[in-house]
Amino acid sequence: MQSETRKVTLSAILRWFDPRKTEAGNWAFILNRVSAIGLTIYLYLHLIILGKLAQGPEAYDSFIDIVRDPIFVFGEFLVVAGGFIHGLNGIRVILNSFGIGVPYQKQLFFGLMAVAVIASVIIGIRMFTV
């Protein structure tokens, strides 16, 4: 009974991400929501881990050495990309909420997401090379 329910829920979620029946508006919604959840988790981890600053230089600097590892840099890259996606898409949402550019929201969405991709690539290259 329980596994049946879980199956239904899983297929419902998967259908949510099915690109065949998905319009641009749904993609905007999915991207905004997924990036929101990711950024929220990051925010509170960030606040908790910065508590090491109160423990003095050794505690904080040894933590900084750990997060220079490429795995963490990749995680940070996801945060940066999520920030660009959420922030730029958010600008479109706000403009549309006040009735600005509503007929062009599809073009605005794709244009802003193109900016997000380009900006993420530029920052990503810098993150992995500096």
Partner 1 sequence: MQNSNTLPKPGESTWLWLIKIITGVLIIGILVLHFIVNHYLGPEGLLTFDEILQYYRNYPIVPIMEGFFLVFVVSHSLIGVRSIILDLNPSRQFLRVLDVILVVIGVVSIVYGIWLLGAILAQAPPA
Residue pair 78/34 in contact by the 8 Å Cβ criterion = no
CA distance 12 to 96: 29
Contacts with partner 1 by CB under 8 A lie at 23-25, 28-29, 33, 36-37, 39-40, 43-44, 47, 50-51, 53-54, 56-57, 60-61, 64, 67-68, 83, 87, 90-91, 93-94, 96-97, 102, 105-106, 109, 127, 130
When the beta carbons of 60 and 75 are compared against partner 1, the nearer one is: 60
What's the distance, CA 125 to chain centroid? 18
When the beta carbons of 75 and 105 are compared against partner 1, the nearer one is: 105
- Cβ of residue 123: shortest distance to partner 1, in angstroms? 9
- Cβ of residue 127: shortest distance to partner 1, in angstroms? 8
- Cβ of residue 61: shortest distance to partner 1, in angstroms? 5
Among candidate residues 14, 53, 27, 23, the one with its CA nearest the CA of residue 116: 27
- Cβ of residue 73: shortest distance to partner 1, in angstroms? 9
Residue pair 88/116 in contact by the 8 Å Cβ criterion = yes
Angle between helix axes 105-129 and 24-49 (nearest 10 degrees) is: 40
